[in-house]
Amino acid sequence: MSLEIYHWEPTVNSGELLICLHEKGIAFTSRYVDLLAFEQHSPEFLALNPRGEVPVLVHDGQVLTETTLVLEYLDAAFPGAALVPDNAAERYHMRVWTKCANDYIVPALAVLGWHERMAGKVAALDRESINARLERLPQDRRVVWQVALDDAFAPEQLARAAQHLNVVARRMEDALEGSEWLAGCSYSLADIAVYPAASAFQALRPDAINAASLPRLAGWLERMRERPAVRAALGLSRSTRPEELFAPGPELGRWG
Amino acid sequence: MTVDVYTWEPNANAGKPLLGLKEKGVEFNYHYIDLAKREQHSPAFLKINPHGMVPALVHDGRVLTESSPMLEYIDEVFDGPPLRPSDPLQLWRMRKFCREMDVSLCPALAMIRSHATASVRYADEDPEMLKRAIERVPLPERKRSWSMQMFNSIPAADIAESHRRVTEAIPMYERALAEFPYLAGPTYSLADINAMCTIYALPVQRPEDVNEESTPHFIDWYRRCHARPGLQAAFALGHEWIAGRVRETRRKLGIE
């Protein structure tokens, strides 16, 4: 059996996958892809994933992408702790949350985090050589990178990203009323899918997410942070402050 | 046990519970929510789904409102033929097709259609009335798309990008269906149901892209899907503009 994971820092999507692997105790080979060195746009990496996105899982030669779908794959294909609840109602809620992570939280955080923390750091990069790399991407991915590198987000887009995150934070606070975990009483892929982005949002907006404003959400973030699998995933970081690192992510929904 | 479905026509997301339940052979009460009258934003419907979106499924008092997780729930809790493969890799493929439809193709087609019909549909309506109708939409991202639709203000670049996505998706379906008879693999699954809800009539709507010569496997897949009694029963629930479109597609495929 061979299992290779191409990933960046243990933030958002890469973080979700690394936490899941540690929760299940699955041995894997780590292949670090440095997004800020644009390794994800190298011909070698694009041969694996033409969209130039991490993480990618290669299991016995089979290439799998789309993080939250890979999380369900890992849970079904490997032994170890069950990360999918044992009843249909909680499984439904779990999938609503993994979809929410994919469609709302991660894209919104990518816009806001990049604009506030990264745009200044990449201004000095050699755009000519980067643009040559971007030429290899599908149209929609190229646009996402160009907008990010130029820090050309429309004010409306930044406002929408912040609004998405605030709406979801409130929804999480409500979901955690009466249950310890997002999908219900069992810890599940819902918590794993949402945690890295929620944690980064807290680092970005400590005034909005804290024990006074959203106590249940703040408590859940603490519980997650203490899990050995979360600590192990963070241990794979090459940075002292991984929560300060962002990359241009999937686009915000175009049609509500 | 009671099953209540609050939805519109067997079309796009609204069609998912109808196609899923008919395929499983589950009895249900069909409550028609007329989107033309904007009943999904009425106080009565907002009591069922405060987000103001169809479909909603109420099963023994439990309310489900996210259509793709809803399809998995339907397959999990009701008797009838299984609609998900058991192999983890095929399951991943199934979910990948569902996800691509949900985040890329379905919104692209919805945007194209909204743009094409908006100038006729809203021409005679009072702009102040329309603004008040938008005020009643609960979710900010849906307010945005309703506003773009009603005031015909979708940027031309976005329409062009939507057309590009539809055009690029078609060869992807052809390649997948050249490999397997159904989207996830050898058996009919939620991926096919999800796709048929939205692209059931492409051979008629986009004959220049989807036809016997350029996409023979895609066309054969249409024949297999449209021959299914469960699918026919679901489309028969639609009003004439849906049922007629399905009949025309079946005629074109030579199965009517």
What's the rounded mean pLDDT across residues B203-220? 97
Q: Which of A103, A252, A255 to mutate to test the interface with B (most CBs of B within 10 A)?
A: A255
Query: Can you give the pLDDT at residue B150?
Result: 93
Structural contact between residues A256 and B141, judged by C-beta atoms closer than 8 angstroms:
yes
Please tell me if residue B81 touches chain A, with a CB cutoff of 8 Å.
no
Which pLDDT value is given to residue A255?
83
ipTM of the complex: 0.97
Contact B66 A140 (CB under 8 A): no
Q: What is the pLDDT along chain A (256 residues), one digit of tens a residue?
A: 899 999 999 999 999 999 999 999 999 999 999 999 999 999 999 999 999 999 999 999 999 999 999 999 999 999 999 999 999 999 999 999 999 999 999 999 999 999 999 998 888 888 999 999 999 999 999 999 999 999 999 999 999 999 999 999 999 999 999 999 999 999 999 999 999 999 999 999 999 999 999 999 999 999 999 999 999 999 999 998 888 899 998 888 888 7
By residue count, chain B amounts to 256
How many other CB atoms sit within 10 Å of the CB of residue B207? 10
State CA A64 to chain mean position distance. 16
Q: Into how many domains does chain A fold?
A: 1
All structural domains of chain B: 3-77 (3.40.30.10), 85-199 (1.20.1050), 202-256 (no CATH)
B77 to chain A: which residues are within 8 Å by CB?
Answer: 88
Give contacts of B101 with chain A, Cβ < 8 Å.
none
Which pLDDT value is given to residue B118?
81
Query: How many other CB atoms are there within 10 angstroms of residue B218's CB atom?
Result: 24
Per-residue pLDDT tens for B105-161? 999 999 999 999 887 888 889 999 999 999 999 999 899 999 999 998 999 999 999
DSSP letter, residue A211? T
Question: What is the reported pTM?
Answer: 0.97
Query: For residue A134, what are the domain limits?
Result: 1-256
Q: What is the SS3 assignment for A217?
A: helix
Go through chain A and tell me how many residues it has.
256
Question: pLDDT value at position A125?
Answer: 85
Compute the distance between CA of residue A236 and CA of residue A21 in angstroms, rounded to an integer: 12
Question: Positive or negative CA dihedral for A157, A159, A161, A164?
Answer: negative
CB contact under 8 A, A64 and B91: no
Specify the CATH number for the domain of residue A172: 1.20.1050.130
Would the CB atoms of B103 and A253 count as touching at under 8 Å?
A: yes
**Across B11-36, average pLDDT:** 97
Q: DSSP letters of chain B?
A: --EEEEE-SSSHHHHHHHHHHHHHT---EEEE--GGGTGGGSHHHHHH-TT--S-EEEETTEEE--HHHHHHHHHHHS-SS--S-SSHHHHHHHHHHHHHIIIIIHHHHHHHHHHHHHHHHTTTS-HHHHHHHHHT--SHHHHHHHHHHHTT---HHHHHHHHHHHHHHHHHHHHHHHHSSSSSSSS--HHHHHHHHHHTTHHHH-TTTSSTTT-HHHHHHHHHHHT-HHHHHHHTTS-HHHHHHHHHHHHHHT--
- In 3D space, the residue among A169, A192, A170 whose CA is nearest the CA of residue A181 turns out to be A192
Supply the Cα-derived Rg of chain A in whole angstroms: 18
Q: What is the average per-residue pLDDT within B61-77?
A: 98
- CA distance to partner chain B, nearest, from residue A65 (Å): 9
Q: Does the beta-carbon distance from A92 to B145 stay under 8 Å?
A: no
Nearest to B221 by CA among B182, B188, B169: B182
Q: What distance in Å separates residue B220's CA from the closest CA in chain A? A: 27
- Number of Cβ within 10 Å of residue A69's Cβ equals 19
Q: Is B107 on the interface with A (CB under 8 A)?
A: yes
d(CA A155, CA B228): 49
Facing A76 at nearest CB: one of B91, B139, B141:
B91
Given a contact cutoff of 8 angstroms between Cβ atoms, the answer to whether A250 and B106 are in contact is no
Nearest CA to CA, how far is A52 from chain B (Å)? 16
Give the phi and the psi of residue A60 in degrees, each rounded to 5.
50, 45
Window from A101-110, A117-126, B34-43, B80-89 with minimum mean pLDDT: A117-126
Chain A with chain B: Cβ pairs closer than 8 A: 80
